[in-house]
Amino acid sequence: MDKKSKILLIVLILLTVLSIGYTFWKTVIQQDFEVSEEVPVKE
Amino acid sequence: MLDFSLTCSDASSAVWGLLDFSIAPPLLFYAYIPIIVISLFLGGFVLIKEKFSLRSKLLFIVSIIFTSLLLNEILLWIAAPVSLVEFGWQLEPLFRILVAVFTVYFIYAFINKRDLPFTQKLILGTAYISVILLTPTTSNIVFFDLNNCEGIPGRLFDLTHLFEVVSMLWVAVITVKNSLQASMPKSEKYQNAFLGGAAVLFLLVFFASTFFGDVTKVYEIGLLGPVGMVTFMAFLTFIIVRYRAFNIKLIGAQALIVSLVVVIGSEFFFIQNTTNQILTAITLVITGFIGINLIRSVKKEVAQREHIEKLAGELQATNERQETLMHFVGHEVKGFLTKDAGAFAAISQGDFGQCDVNMKPFVERALVESRQGAASVENILKASNLKKGTVAYTKAPFDMKELVAEAVEKAKPAAGLKGLTLTFTADEGSYQMNGDKAQINDHVLRNLIDNSINYTPSGSVAVSLKRASTKIIFEVKDTGIGITDEDKKRLFTEGGHGKDSQTVNAHSTGYGLYIAKQITEAHNGTIRAESEGEGKGTTFFVELPVKPVS
């Protein structure tokens, strides 16, 4: 694998870990998401 | 602190307060668990067998991501806390786009046998980044619908579906582009077409099932998606067995069938429904039956193939040894015959004093036969060198008409000795061409003229030259013994003798016309013979390309 591809791979892995980590923290730990018991009318 | 107190309304008796198996459809376990095991097994097996080659690593990554996606799907069905279900819904586009990205990457690397160019990696990476950046936002899951216990998909799901369609087309383009390569062997083309087709089918089933699941809100349709992976794996197994892709032999097929039987059998441990138990039992029996037959047939085929390959290897080695020996013997014999010919010539010409009158005819006869012997050995060595491709051609412009006229002149004594009429005619026009003059003269012109003289007991041999716009046509027509249809088939083959050729010409090696054909073809020309049959004469045609007359 060439150097440019390695950098791209590392960037993508880091972003993935950060994104999943942040989503887990926000959703499961902070419970920061909207919950509705009614299905809204679509736009 | 983690708070799992908020659960979906239909959740009941959750295991450890986290998992609820009551609402999960049986198909979820029936379809997903075997697929996970098979894809992981095949991916891991290929990875180890291929010693971590790029394509095997990519296939393994595809199977890992696919497994993660399926585990996430299972989580969506069995997780009781709303936060976990919401988290699972949020990860959905990420896994989906990763499956599409790595399927494209794998197919490219497999078919083209090289890494994906960086620009294409960048395009795939950009699509992926846009998904991971939007994962924690409301563009992914707008809100959580507690009534139906599901996330309401946002625009990110549309983007993911769009990319799935793009990746499907991408794989199709890679496959079609590859099949248009003229230089590729047919078997490799079929292999690549099978795999590319399977990947397109996989992405299509995968995309269509979730797309319609999302649109109709009947998420059970989405459960059919991973069936596409089964198709993909089935095609992959087929090309492994049929085309020996990934260099996996019998063990691959055996292990696959065994794991399939074990996985299907293991379903009895958690399937409670009688209908599903009967269905599983039938599947198990059918899989077992087909599996045993498949293993038997693969075993037989692999054994036969290995035996043939072994024999072919041995044959090649023997041929090479024989070729080397023949070369050595040929050179030795040619050396002795040349020396003998030199000695006989010296005796005949009186270099060692006046040759005895009674002895002279014998010496001259010995001289002719030594020369014929040396020429025969030379022919065999030449044919061997042509076959090995070690003959060098020195091409330069020359006049074909002059060369043919000289060749005819040199052959006249031999024709005269047999009482044959040897004539040469040439049409008007330029006969300048580019080629190896010596090779054409010695092995094409002389060969064909001598051949006609040798096989014509009486009558004539007519040599002619004709000029067409882009070629020179050299013809040798005789009134000789002719060629039967049976002999025509082996006329230009290596060592190919006619049925009666050695009766008429005892010195025939069977290599003359083979050499003439090789040399003609090395000049991009063609050679052929026409004869109406035995005793009706033969005409040889040599057509050599030349630049059009301006």
Distance, in angstroms, between A39 CA and closest chain B CA?
7
B91 — contact with chain A (CB < 8 Å)?
Answer: yes
ipTM of the prediction: 0.86
B146 vs A contacts (CB less than 8 Å):
35-37
Say whether pLDDT at B239 is over 80.
no
Of A26, A27, A36, the CB nearest to B146: A36
Cβ contact B144–A8 (<8 Å): no
Q: Chain A residue with minimal CA distance to B4?
A: A28
Q: Are strands B432-435 and B460-467 parallel, antiparallel or unpaired?
A: unpaired
Q: Where is pLDDT greater, at B171 or B280?
A: B171
- List the single range of B56-65, B144-153, B212-221 with lowest mean pLDDT: B212-221
Tell which of B64, B114, B121, B216 to mutate to test the A interface (max A CBs under 10 Å). Answer: B121
Say whether pLDDT at B271 is over 80.
no
Cβ contact B115–A37 (<8 Å): no
Amino acid identity at B75: L
Our measurement of the distance from residue B401's CA atom to the centroid of its chain's CA atoms, rounded to an integer in Å, reads 44
pLDDT of residue B544: 93
Q: Are strands B141-145 and A35-36 parallel, antiparallel or unpaired?
A: parallel
Instruction: Identify the band that residue A43 occupies on the pLDDT scale cut at 50, 70 and 90.
Output: very low
Q: What's the order of all strands across the beta sheet hosting B141-145?
A: A35-36, B141-145, B150-153
Count how many Cα atoms sit within 13 Å of the Cα of residue B288 in the half-sphere of its side chain. 11
Closest Cα to residue B512, out of B334, B363, B376? B376
Say whether pLDDT at B246 is over 60.
no
Report CA Rg, chain B. 38
pLDDT of residue B350: 84
Q: How far apart are CA B421 and CA B167, in angstroms?
A: 75
pLDDT of residue B199: 85
Say whether pLDDT at B278 is over 50.
yes
Q: Residue B150 pairs with which residues in a beta bridge?
A: B145
Closest Cα to residue B500, out of B477, B512, B484? B484
The pLDDT of B48-70, averaged and rounded, is: 86
Count how many residues are written for chain B.
550
Q: What are the residue ranges of helices labelled H in B220-273?
A: 227-243, 250-266
- List the single range of A12-21, B19-28, B145-154, B472-481 with lowest mean pLDDT: B19-28
Say whether pLDDT at B491 is over 50.
yes
- For the ranges A34-38, B296-300, B322-326, B362-366, the maximum mean pLDDT occurs at B362-366
Q: Is the dihedral of CA B334, B336, B341, B342 positive or negative?
A: positive
pLDDT of residue B448: 92
Cβ contact A19–B132 (<8 Å): yes
Q: How far apart are CA B116 and CA B210, in angstroms?
A: 28
Q: Chain B residue with minimal CA distance to A4?
A: B118
Cβ contact B121–A8 (<8 Å): yes
Cβ contact A27–B115 (<8 Å): no
Count how many Cα atoms sit within 13 Å of the Cα of residue B170 in the half-sphere of its side chain. 21
Q: How far apart are CA B241 and CA B258, in angstroms?
A: 16
Q: To 10 degrees, what angle do helices B274-348 and B250-266 make?
A: 180
B143 — contact with chain A (CB < 8 Å)?
Answer: yes
Say whether pLDDT at B473 is over 90.
yes
* 3-state DSSP helix/strand/coil % of chain A, to nearest 5: 65, 5, 35
Q: What is the mean pLDDT of chain B?
A: 82
Q: What region, left, alpha or beta, does residue B418 occupy, with left being phi > 0 and alpha being psi -120 to 50 degrees?
A: alpha
Instruction: Identify the band that residue B407 occupies on the pLDDT scale cut at 50, 70 and 90.
Output: very high
- Which residues of A lie closer than 8 Å to B, measured between beta carbons? 1-2, 4-5, 8, 11-12, 15-16, 19-20, 22-24, 26-29, 31, 33-40
Q: In chain A, what is the straight-line distance between the N-terminal and C-terminal CA atoms, in Å?
A: 46
pLDDT of residue B36: 82
Tell which of B86, B94, B214 to mutate to test the A interface (max A CBs under 10 Å). Answer: B86
pLDDT above 70 covers what percent of chain B? 84
B264 — contact with chain A (CB < 8 Å)?
Answer: no
Q: How far apart are CA B110 and CA B37, in angstroms?
A: 23
The pLDDT of B100-107, averaged and rounded, is: 91
Say whether pLDDT at B458 is over 80.
yes
B148 — contact with chain A (CB < 8 Å)?
Answer: yes
